[in-house]
Chains A and B, each alone.
Chain A
Amino acid sequence: MSIEPSSAVGGTPVARPDNIAELRGVHYSVGDKAVFRGLDIGIRRGEVTAIMGPSGTGKTTLLRLITGQVRADAGEVIVDGRDVSGLSRKELYALRRRMGMLFQNGALLTDIDVFENVAFPLREHAKLPERIVGTLVLTKLHAVGLRGAVGLMPQQLSGGMARRVALARAIVMDPDILIYDEPFAGLDPISMGVVMRLIRSLNDALAISSIVVTHDVQEVSQIADTSYILSDGHVMASGAPADLRANDSPLVHQFMEGLADGPVPFHYPAPDYREQLLGSREGLQ
């Protein structure tokens, strides 16, 4: 069985044969807190899939499940036809060689320069002649527009540049799946536009499947083929960005329009305001 997104609110995804990754009835908890309660998601091959949702809904945890960094308490996490939770360490590493991931802060290795950062996966996994390594690294850096930064150290890069170098590193092994964790966070509008276009163009040019976890609804709506909105441990809504914008669910509306108050309250649960202001110091604790 494979899973297809539905545009209905809380719609149950249905099986599709062309999904590269699927989560079927996934339950996952951290301590007593349930992060996912029967999560169903399908990531279609060759598409850009956006995973959105308010803070703390487990978007990054979802990526960690797909990459096998954490294991589901129940349910299946299928990547390219194989259940990640059933893989040995060796098999998991073999699967990960076909994935690339862009971390929120780039996660470049700080003791080596840009060239060596991009060359890192090649040096670890492929015994290639130095000339070929050089060509591959320069090609990937050229693709992200940073061929000129080849000799810089990570500390000399701006946030946007660091993320583009990390992107070059993520694609240097020609992955089948590219995963982005908050790729737009903290970027200026120009860098954001650059990264946004890169996600779409790399997805199409390299014929890969991309998963983008983000809060930035407007930006990701321009490049995503399919979006999922997570809330309360399951999929609240899914479908094409236009369908989600047209969705009349108050929760989806609040999220898509970025409204401060709504089904997701502005205020963290607190005692009565008046009582707390007039009360003693104990009221603050």
Chain B
Amino acid sequence: MTLIHELLEGMQDFLARAGAMTRFFVRVLLISPAGFLRPRLVIDQVYNAGALSLVIIMTSGLFVGMVMGLQGYDLLSRIGSEDSLGTGAALTLLKELGPVVTALLFAGRAGTALASEIGLMRATDQLSAMEIMAVDPMKRVVLPRFLGGVISMPLLTGIFVAVSLYGVQLIGVQYFGIDQGQFWSEMRSAVDIEDVREGLIKGLVFGVACSLIAVFEGYNAEPTAEGVGRATTRTVVVSAVTTLVLDYIVTAILL
């Protein structure tokens, strides 16, 4: 009985939180035109969420690409198709790994930064001070950060994929000696614009999800040090799970 009771309570909490987040998302969408009136605020957040994540995205991308090069070459050489390394890597990166890994990295770097920044603003009365100054914190704080994240994610995904492909090329062409021309030409002939579009759509969807979760958790953080810590942790966990669930849904729709 206790287990069932706990399960029901957990389900109730989950639904309440999902409902609150949906309401929050609708509110953000309704005020989103205000973001275009203050582009400077959004550009600052593209820098914070996007430009400041470049190092981690590029470093991770390079190593993910190099590992793919090693594993892919090992696998393909068993069936004598090592020349297809570029094609396989490009499709995997564009359609799956690129958007998903970028979203996970984004949640860990930019998502936690957003949640803790907004949570601390709540804990130190900065959001209340804005309210008293007749400044809507949703428009001044939440919206620019949300839009900054949404704009950054597809761009970061593109950069991640490009750097990863360079990593695959380093291993496949430079290390194992696959013919450079064949590597790139096979990739060009096999990859469609649809594949690129799928990757960008996923990047955009994950960007909306991860940015929304980060600003929601920060804005609704308990105004204590512990509360801000919890909001930051929840941002990473919920973003990661949501990304993987959404990945399945978007893939099923686009295939």
User: Which residue of the partner chain, among B126, B128, B140, contacts A69 with CB atoms under 8 Å?
Assistant: B128
- Name the distance in Å between A169's Cβ and chain B's nearest Cβ: 8
Contact A99 B132 (CB under 8 A): yes
- Name the distance in Å between A177's Cβ and chain B's nearest Cβ: 11
User: Which residue of the partner chain, among A96, A103, A104, A166, contacts B134 with CB atoms under 8 Å?
Assistant: A96
Q: Which residue of A lies closest to B123 (CB)?
A: A105
Q: Is B124 located at the chain interface by the 8 A CB criterion?
A: yes
- Contact residue range for chain A? 20 to 34
Within 8 A of A (CB), among B107-157: 120-121, 124-126, 128-129, 131-136, 140
Residues in A whose Cβ lies below 8 Å from that of B135? 120-121, 124
User: Which residue of the partner chain, among B121, B124, B132, B134, contacts A105 with CB atoms under 8 Å?
Assistant: B124
Residues in B whose Cβ lies below 8 Å from that of A109? 121, 126, 129
Residues in A whose Cβ lies below 8 Å from that of B124? 105, 107, 110
Q: Which residue of A lies closest to B48 (CB)?
A: A111
Residues in A whose Cβ lies below 8 Å from that of B120? 110
The answer for the CA separation of A124 and B140 in the assembled complex, in Å, is 9
Which of B120, B134, B135, B136 has most chain A Cβ within 10 Å?
B134
Residues in A whose Cβ lies below 8 Å from that of B129? 101, 103, 107-109, 166
Residues in B whose Cβ lies below 8 Å from that of A197? none
Residues in A whose Cβ lies below 8 Å from that of B140? 124
User: Which residue of the partner chain, among B125, B126, B132, contacts A96 with CB atoms under 8 Å?
Assistant: B132
Q: Which residue of A lies closest to B131 (CB)?
A: A69
Contact B131 A103 (CB under 8 A): no
Q: A97-B134, A120-B133 are in contact. Are A105 and B125 (CB under 8 A)?
A: yes
User: Which residue of the partner chain, among A67, A100, A107, A173, contacts B126 with CB atoms under 8 Å?
Assistant: A107
Contact A125 B128 (CB under 8 A): no
Q: Is A94 located at the chain interface by the 8 A CB criterion?
A: yes
Within 8 A of A (CB), among B28-51: none
Contact B133 A121 (CB under 8 A): yes
Contact B125 A124 (CB under 8 A): no
Residues in A whose Cβ lies below 8 Å from that of B131? 67, 69, 96
Q: Which residue of B lies closest to A99 (CB)?
A: B132
Which of B120, B121, B135 has most chain A Cβ within 10 Å?
B135
Q: Which residue of B lies closest to A97 (CB)?
A: B134
- Name the distance in Å between A237's Cβ and chain B's nearest Cβ: 29
The answer for the CA separation of A93 and B129 in the assembled complex, in Å, is 12
Q: Which residue of B lies closest to A124 (CB)?
A: B135
Q: A107-B125, A110-B124, A110-B126 are in contact. Are A101 and B134 (CB under 8 A)?
A: no
Q: Which residue of B lies closest to A89 (CB)?
A: B136
- Name the distance in Å between A137's Cβ and chain B's nearest Cβ: 15
C-beta contact mask, A191-223 vs B, less than 8 Å → 1, else 0? 000000000000000000000000000000000
The answer for the CA separation of A121 and B136 in the assembled complex, in Å, is 12
Within 8 A of B (CB), among A30-73: 67, 69
- Name the distance in Å between B127's Cβ and chain A's nearest Cβ: 9
Q: Which residue of A lies closest to B132 (CB)?
A: A101
- Name the distance in Å between A70's Cβ and chain B's nearest Cβ: 11
Which of B125, B126, B133, B135 has most chain A Cβ within 10 Å?
B133
Other A-B contacts than A108-B126, A110-B120, A121-B133, 11 sampled, CB-CB below 8 A, are A69-B128, A93-B136, A94-B134, A104-B125, A105-B125, A107-B125, A109-B126, A110-B126, A121-B134, A121-B135, A124-B133
Residues of B near any A CB (own CB < 8 A): 120-121, 124-126, 128-129, 131-136, 140
